[in-house]
Amino acid sequence: MVLEPGSVFAGYTVLEQAGSGGMGTVYRMRHPRLQIDVAVKVLPAHVGSSDPKALARFEREARLTAALQHPNIVRVHDCGTDGETPWIAMDFVSGSDAERLAGAGPLPIARAVEIVRQAAAALDYAHGKGILHRDVKPANLLISEHTGQQHVQITDFGIARGLGERTTATGSVRATFAYAAPEQLGGGPVDHRCDVYALGCTLFHLLSGAVPFPLRTVFAIVNAHLNTPPPRVSLSRPDVPAALDEVIATAMAKSPGARYRSCGEMAEAALAAIREPLWPEPMSTAPPQGDSVRPAAGAEPPVWSTPLSNPPPVRAAVDLIGHTGAVRVIAFDPWGARVVTAGADQTVRLWDAHGGKQIGAPLAVNIAVHALAFSLDGSLLAAASGRSARLWDVESAQRICDDVYTALPSTPVFGPDAAVLAATNPQSVLLWDTPERNGFGKLEMHPGFGLGYSSLAFSPDATVFAIARRDEVILRDYHRGAAPRGSAIGAQRAILAHAGEHVRRVLFTSDSRTLLTVSDRVARLWDCADDRYRVELLLPMELTGTEVEAAFGVDGSRFAVANHDRVVCWSRSTGQSIHFPLDTGTGPVRSVTFSADGALLAVSTRALVRIWDIDSRRQLGPDMPPPVVFAPDGITFAAAHHDRVCLRNLAELR
């Protein structure tokens, strides 16, 4: 069955065919209510008509996959049948995949390790939920560009198995066999370590440009996985350190017990093997030849109902020791590779998050910092101190400008392309030019900027700049990469009215499609379609006091608002809100953050930090002194203990 553009299937409007394969055809379609593009995989009709058990297992596995909410996993939105034709709707991912990238030649070492690191975080998360992938390979690692950096998402969780197809000697099956663990090929029991093996094969492919055993027949490939020692990348690529060969060899050990205990453990070993902090390399602006939209598609079965025989390892405890006074502020860079801290000893220090060593001398002395912020590409660091801000180039650890006057204590915000640094005070919006990296440009006052500014936000796709001003939110064009003098902040795009209210916070989701505005009465979600903003949700707030903080989960499915004596967490998927209490005597709310997987919520006041498991509505551990910060890797948190910072595994909280 071929669907024509403009036709309607299962309620979705067909836009174009995006791909096809042995398991069916993938179309880009428009969601009928959300007005967003999704990838809908249309499976052969005989799956629904001739094998009811296969169809039931397909639907069950699709539901399990839909429960995987992780920034590095392609989400499943819905599934069903149209007539007798099964279908499944997923995120539509625009970009390439790791196989196509490696097809253009071996990847830079740091980039290959970063791809594997992000994939490992997703796999460990799925394993913790009792789900295996079983078909980890470069073609199932989708690579998109986010603010100039690569973002990896794993697809093909839990879709292909149970559709009645047995493995045959086709090109696609031969490709899957190229990454399969010996226990999969030999018919023995499998657990999460088969994904560790496949991830090791994937790392070899990304570094060498070829599969581990490039043999012509399925029999030869299977025999090599069962009996041939893992190959060494350094034999064909001398710049690859021998330690990285050993990482791949351990991941590809024939016996599951000889492999790493988790994908994350393998990724940490790969990071250590390259002997320097990992800095993801900018993606090429020109995709490989033949690059096109790569939607999520079907895969091998992941359902795994038995407990982990070897659970993911607890992160080795790391202490950051060097401050001589209480640590007041902590921030991770976007990849969790480095940590910056500021203390009562009035120093700012940069650390390697993996080994715990301080990087160089203190960045600053005699500066009392109340806020730290990395640019989204990790290249710049801003520190707010009193009524001024200071900027450093992170790679060189060099200060690159004089202090900038902000009039009032505030937290500076980087534009998504790091070209602009912005802050607000009640009188104005302050903008500085950062591209030259040798000083700020002049303060720019734009027409329409007046009194009463309380919050600002850049859309992550670098197109919109939002400013809260009393009873309205002003949306202006943002021109990516341009200096602010007359061009970065452009024409007014829209005004979102909040009559009779005072807007306290504005915040975008990571996909830039939704804007959260919080006033002293109501929280609103504004959905953006075709540059038009409409209200998706009205949630009464009844805020007390002026200190309001808000945050989205990484995938945008949850948001939280904290104010004075309570925290409200709202789920966009269930439509339910959960209220968590705060103690009124602990001071104003300073921050509210989600863990990387969206399962935990941390709220910090002047005196304490309280962490909840959202689904169980249970506080994890006792109140802790601030600051406590979640790392981007999804498994680590940082907590200050007077003059040191402890990096620990989140499992300790649970």
Active site residues: 135
Environment class of residue 416 by beta-carbon count within 10 Å: exposed (0-12), middle (13-18) or buried (19+)? Answer: buried
Amino acid (one-letter) located at 84: E
Amino acid (one-letter) located at 176: T
- Tokens read off for 542: 């009844």
CB atoms within 10 A of CB 595: 23
- Tokens read off for 137: 């390979």
How far is residue 127 CA from its own chain's centroid? 18
Distance (Å, rounded) from C-alpha 220 to C-alpha 218? 5
CB atoms within 10 A of CB 575: 8
Beta bridge partners of 329: 342
b/e sequence 25-39, b meaning 16+ C-beta within 10 Å? bbbbbbbeeeebbbb
Amino acid (one-letter) located at 194: C
Environment class of residue 198 by beta-carbon count within 10 Å: exposed (0-12), middle (13-18) or buried (19+)? Answer: buried
Distance (Å, rounded) from C-alpha 603 to C-alpha 468? 23
Distance (Å, rounded) from C-alpha 72 to C-alpha 373? 23
Q: Are the CB atoms for 162 and 183 separated by under 8 Å?
A: no
- HSE-up of residue 175 (Cα within 13 Å, Cβ side): 12
Distance (Å, rounded) from C-alpha 581 to C-alpha 608? 13
